[in-house]
């Protein structure tokens, strides 16, 4: 790649709702820059950025791909992100390191749910952005309607910099309203275009758009704004400079029409990125932690090297690749790098400037570069890299919590042996995955952002690590508790020749408040149960409680007082008192009006307004409770509580109800009693499972 100047670097994330055309636009970028001889197509499975076998099989992007594009003496780092909510973690990672964003809005659909979701990332990271209204060459599209939609539901500071020439199937070019230049295409997908004057029938529209753009842009410079308000003519060079200043300051978000597949407006978008989007040196200081202290990290090309790992990928040929954005200084490949987060020194063999799965090797990286570094063993996404002795750490990426889970079961002993290693590697690569062994149900639970996400991960585990897994819905971690006080005896007496077994205890169980656990109380007086057997009785109680009474689920939220009992000088033992305690627990539970408790989740669902009724009705059918509804533009945010047992397949149901436009998150809230009819079914199911195990 040679030497790059930080002021000539642009790092841009392509973000949007799924299906808006990000991958196709990236193909057009590469084609127009002369890096590929023809544009690939998603349906032909030959695009540069969708190179993973799962992406090609499904026809969607599932991970962020990096393309390094030299263009007009500048280096563009284009991050093509997935658009589906299942892969929101990849979007967040890309937005964390991008200096700018191109928000694609599908002209056939307008602003969609995930468009607003990714815009929130741009807001959170204070990322300068522009809008590319894609697929304008399709039927039933209207540029003005989409612009109004963006201004109403995303930002009033979004203003057209270009207008389309023609519409729908007759869309054939774009006009720069500031320079009043028209760029006309043949419509055959070629990169060539002709530059000319504004079509006569567009003169009034261009003039009105130009005034609107200038009024918004001059707000970025007080002096120019005063001159403009005084009626003074502002030169084109001054307008171009103030436009860039407004874009970098997020006071203005240019809108450009186009079509990636027809390759209309793509070169003009690349010019917009090169001319108006910020370089690393234009960006705000990043913040890092030095112990508990928050420290500013200025974008200084001569400062100490600091890089941030935002993605890890396992390449079948190269091995592990760690994707790094340089936020300060520079580094050469003959230096070692220090993982500040893990306090581990790592060796560097080379830097890879990526273009999909292909790469060009480099020996130096500078401020603003985004590269892949092979074989950093201790490094995962979110780690900070520096030089030996560095203590500054960038804040880790906040990944969303998983919302969809399956229990996984190895098909063979060989699969069981390989599962741990495969899962460990997948977790390093995808930080939105989680894998836990549920101590209450003994399920091995793999969780992610949706059924598609987990389906892809399971396919990768099988293909890459040769591990075959069966799946089913996880068991619900029900719990058992009691409603009233009860006391009962547990006596274990056995004589079989020689020394016998004797243990005798009296327990009193009493309900406690939720989440209190189990409280064991010693109220024995007069030595009815010797002190040395009390711990054995408590252990027996807790072991029995873990096995439950009604359906085999852990019993909790009660106190147990041992208040009487008896012993035998010869036959009593710790084991005998453990067994007696288990019997006393069961006898008490029988009298204490036991019930089964189920976990209830706090759920937050974001949907278009027209889907609100369906979502609310669906919650009612799931024994859910609507806690409140908030509005955010055209979107409705439903806050509800719902039993976990009703939420396992909700990601699939919500996608079906909203045609993929809804998203949700959930977290544990509390436990509640099961309704009697459902409790009966749970008990019967548990009995059936025990019977099958015994057979």
* pLDDT tens, residue by residue, 355-412: 998 999 999 999 999 999 998 988 999 999 999 989 999 998 888 888 899 999 999 9
Q: Looking at the domain assignment, is residue 685 inside a domain?
A: no
Q: What angle do CA 45, 50, 55 make, to 5 degrees?
A: 75
Q: 380's torsion region: left (phi>0), alpha (psi -120 to 50) or beta?
A: beta
Using CA atoms, how far residue 50 sits from 10, 27, 89, 452, 502, in Å, is 22, 10, 17, 16, 70
Would you say residue 538 has pLDDT above 90?
yes
pLDDT for 695 beyond 70: no
Q: Are strands 162-165 and 158-160 parallel, antiparallel or unpaired?
A: unpaired
The reply to whether 117 and 208 lie within a common domain is yes
Predicted confidence at residue 662, as pLDDT, reads: 82
- The whole domain housing 260 covers 6-282
Q: Model confidence over 426-484: pLDDT tens digits? A: 888 898 999 999 888 889 999 998 888 999 999 999 988 899 999 999 999 999 999 99
**What one-character-per-residue DSSP string does 296-314 give?**
EE---TTS--EEEEEEEEE
What is the sign of the dihedral through the CA atoms of 432, 374, 50 and 111? positive
Distance (Å, rounded) from C-alpha 678 to C-alpha 497?
48
Are 361 and 320 spatial neighbours (Cβ–Cβ below 8 Å)?
A: no
Q: How far apart are CA 175 and CA 202, in angstroms?
A: 9
CATH number of the domain residue 631 falls in: 3.30.70.240
For residues 355 and 458, state if they share a domain.
Answer: no
Instruction: Determine contact, residues 172/245, Cβ cutoff 8 Å.
Output: no
Cα angle value 449/317/315 (rounded, 5°): 20
| Four-CA torsion 611, 616, 621, 625, nearest 10 degrees | 150
Q: Is 695 a member of any domain?
A: no
Question: How would DSSP label each residue in 87-113?
Answer: GHHHHHHHHHH-SEEEEEEETTT-S-H
SS3 472: strand
Helix (H) / strand (E) containing 685: helix 676-694
CB 313 within 8 A of CB 363: no
Q: Are residues 277 and 423 part of one domain?
A: no
Q: Could you tell me if residue 276 is inside a domain?
A: yes
Provide, rounded to the nearest whole percent, the portion of the chain with pLDDT above 70: 99
Q: How far apart are CA 392 and CA 303, in angstroms?
A: 13
CATH classification at residue 457: 3.30.70.870
Q: Tokens 């002709």 appear where?
A: 194
- Count of residues for the chain? 695
For residue 590, give the nearest of 487, 477, 440, 517 by alpha carbon: 487
Count other Cβ atoms within 10 Å, centred on residue 328. Answer: 22
Looking up tokens 């580094």 gives 331
Angle ∠(615,620,626) on CA atoms, nearest 5: 75
Residue 1 in this model has a pLDDT that exceeds 60:
no
**R_g (Cα) of the chain, nearest Å:** 32
The DSSP call for residue 145 is H
Q: What's the Cα-to-Cα distance from 142 to each of 5, 129, 133, 175, rounded to whole Å?
A: 40, 22, 10, 16
Q: What percent of the chain has pLDDT over 90?
A: 73
Cβ atoms of 557 and 596 within 8 Å: the answer is no
- Spatial distance between the Cα atoms of 72 and 611, rounded to a whole number of angstroms: 46
Query: Strand, helix or coil at 149?
Result: helix
Q: Which of 691, 692, 687 is nearest to 548 (CA)?
A: 687
Closest CA to 350 of 375, 338, 333: 333
Q: Is there a single domain that holds both residue 440 and residue 513?
A: no
CB 402 within 8 A of CB 666: no
Nearest to 102 by CA among 282, 280, 268, 239: 268
Write out pLDDT tens, residues 97-133: 999 999 999 999 999 878 888 898 899 999 999 999 9
- The domain that holds 250 is classified in CATH as 3.40.50.300
Count of the separate structural domains present in the chain: 5
Do 490 and 369 fall into the same domain?
A: no
Q: What are phi and psi of 334, to 5 degrees?
A: -90, 0
Mean of per-residue pLDDT scores for the chain = 92
431 lies in the same domain as 347? no
Do 248 and 323 belong to one domain? Answer: no
Distance, in Å, from the CA atom of 656 to the CA atom of 659, rounded to the nearest integer, reads 5
Whether the pLDDT of residue 570 is over 90: the answer is no
Q: What is the distance between the alpha carbons of residues 345 and 332, in angstroms, rounded to a whole number?
A: 15
List the one residue out of 141, 198, 172 whose CA is nearest residue 265. 172
- Residues near 170 by beta carbon (within 8 Å), at least 6 away in sequence: none
Residue 57, pLDDT score: 87
Question: In this structure, are 389 and 451 located in the same domain?
Answer: no
Give the residue-averaged pLDDT of 188-192. Answer: 87
Q: Which of 365, 394, 423 is the last residue of a domain?
A: 394
Q: What is the structure's pLDDT at 467?
A: 92
Widest Cα–Cα separation across the chain:
114
- Predicted pLDDT of residue 3: 56
Q: Is the pLDDT of residue 499 over 90?
A: no
Q: 379 with 465, same domain? A: no
Cβ-based neighbour number of residue 125 at 10 Å: 16
Instruction: Determine, yes or no, domain membership for 686.
Output: no
User: Which residue, 447, 472, 497, sits at the end of a domain?
Assistant: 472
288 and 196 Cβ atoms separated by less than 8 Å? no
Does pLDDT of 319 surpass 90? no
pLDDT given at position 497:
66
Partners of residue 303 on adjacent β-strands = none
**Is 109 in the same domain as 205?**
yes
Backbone angles phi, psi at 586, to 5 degrees: -65, -40
Over the stretch 634-647, which tens digit does the pLDDT of each residue have? 789 999 999 999 99
Shared domain check, 553 and 467: no
Residue 683 falls inside a structural domain: no
Whole-angstrom distance, CA of residue 118 vs CA of residue 135: 19
Among 592, 626, 643, the domain boundary falls at: 592
| Strand bridging mode 486-494 / 469-472 | unpaired
Residue 154 φ/ψ, nearest 5 degrees: -125, -65
Q: Do residue 356 and residue 454 come from a single domain?
A: no
Measured CA angle at 12 (ends 7, 17), to 5 deg = 165
The predicted pLDDT at position 2 comes to 46
* 369: in domain: yes
CA–CA separation, 16 and 172 (whole Å): 24
> How many CA atoms are closer than 13 Å to the CA of 356, on its beta-carbon side?
19
**Per the domain annotation, does 298 fall within a domain?**
yes
Residue 630, pLDDT > 60, answer yes
Answer yes or no: is 275 within a domain: yes
Q: Is pLDDT above 80 for 170? A: yes
Quickly tell me which residue has 């042996």 as its tokens.
Answer: 417
**Confidence band of 291 (pLDDT split at 50, 70, 90):** confident
Token code pair at residue 443: 């399920």
């Amino acid at each position: 790649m040679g030497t790059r100047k930080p002021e000539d670097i642009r790092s841009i994330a392509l973000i949007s709702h799924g299906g808006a055309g990000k991958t196709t636009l990236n193909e057009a970028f590469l084609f127009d820059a002369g890096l590929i001889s023809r544009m690939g197509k998603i349906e032909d499975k030959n695009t540069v950025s969708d190179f993973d076998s799962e992406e090609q099989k499904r026809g969607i992007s599932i991970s962020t791909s990096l393309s390094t594009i030299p263009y007009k003496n500048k280096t563009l780092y284009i991050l093509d992100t997935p658009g589906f909510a299942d892969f929101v973690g990849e979007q967040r990672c890309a937005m964390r390191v991008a200096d700018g964003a191109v928000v694609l809005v599908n002209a056939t659909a307008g602003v969609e749910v995930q468009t607003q979701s990714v815009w929130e990332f741009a807001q959170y990271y204070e990322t300068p952005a522009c809008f590319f209204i894609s697929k304008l060459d399709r039927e039933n599209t209207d540029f003005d309607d989409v612009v109004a939609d963006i201004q109403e539901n995303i930002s009033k500071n979004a203003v057209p910099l270009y207008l389309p020439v023609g519409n729908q199937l007759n869309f054939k070019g774009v006009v720069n309203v500031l320079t009043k230049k028209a760029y006309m295409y043949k419509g055959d997908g070629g990169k060539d275009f002709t530059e000319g004057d504004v079509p006569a029938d567009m003169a009034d529209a261009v003039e009105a758009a130009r005034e609107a753009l200038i009024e918004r842009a001059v707000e970025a410079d007080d002096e120019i704004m005063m001159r403009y308000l005084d009626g003074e003519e502002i030169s084109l060079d001054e307008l171009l400079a103030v436009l860039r200043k407004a874009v970098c300051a997020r006071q203005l978000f240019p809108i450009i029409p186009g079509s990636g597949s027809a390759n209309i407006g793509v070169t003009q978008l690349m010019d917009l990125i090169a001319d108006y989007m910020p370089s690393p040196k234009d960006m705000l200081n990043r913040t890092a932690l030095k112990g508990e202290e928050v420290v500013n990290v200025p974008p200084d090309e001569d400062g100490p090297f600091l890089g941030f790992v935002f993605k890890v990928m396992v390449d079948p040929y190269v091995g592990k690749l760690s994707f790094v954005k340089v936020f300060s200084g520079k580094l050469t490949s003959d230096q070692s790098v220090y993982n500040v987060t893990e306090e581990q020194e790592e060796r560097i063999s080379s830097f890879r400037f990526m273009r999909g799965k292909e790469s060009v090797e480099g020996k130096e990286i500078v401020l603003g570069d985004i590269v892949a570094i092979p074989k950093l063993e201790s490094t995962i996404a979110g780690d900070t890299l520096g030089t030996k002795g560095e203590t500054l750490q960038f804040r880790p990426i906040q990944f969303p919590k998983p919302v969809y889970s399956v229990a996984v079961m190895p098909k063979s002993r060989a699969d069981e042996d390989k599962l741990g290693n495969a899962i460990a590697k997948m977790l390093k690569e995808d930080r939105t995955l989680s894998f836990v062994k549920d101590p209450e149900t003994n399920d091995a639970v793999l969780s992610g952002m949706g059924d598609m996400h987990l389906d892809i991960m399971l396919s990768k585990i099988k293909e890459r690590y040769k591990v075959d897994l069966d799946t089913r819905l996880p068991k619900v971690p029900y719990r058992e508790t009691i409603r009233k006080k009860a006391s009962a005896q547990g006596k274990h007496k056995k004589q079989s020749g020689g020394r016998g077994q004797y243990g005798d205890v009296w327990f009193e169980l009493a309900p406690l408040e939720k989440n209190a656990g189990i409280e064991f109380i010693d109220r024995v007086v007069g030595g009815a149960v010797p002190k040395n057997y009390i711990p054995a009785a408590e252990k027996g109680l807790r072991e029995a409680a873990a096995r439950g009474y009604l359906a085999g689920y852990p019993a909790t939220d009660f106190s147990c007082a041992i208040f009487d009992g008896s012993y035998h000088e010869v036959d009593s033992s710790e084991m005998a008192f453990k067994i007696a305690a288990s019997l006393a627990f069961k006898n008490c539970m029988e009298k204490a009006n036991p019930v089964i408790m189920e976990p209830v989740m706090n759920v937050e669902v974001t949907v278009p307004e027209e889907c609100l009724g369906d979502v609310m009705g669906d919650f009612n059918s799931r024994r859910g409770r609507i806690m409140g509804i908030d509005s955010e533009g055209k979107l409705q945010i439903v806050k509800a509580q719902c039993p976990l047992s009703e939420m396992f397949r909700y990601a699939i149901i919500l996608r079906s109800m909203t045609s993929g436009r809804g998203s949700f998150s959930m977290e544990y809230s509390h436990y509640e009693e099961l309704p009697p009819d459902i409790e009966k079914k749970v008990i019967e199911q548990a009995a059936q499972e025990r019977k099958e195990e015994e057979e």
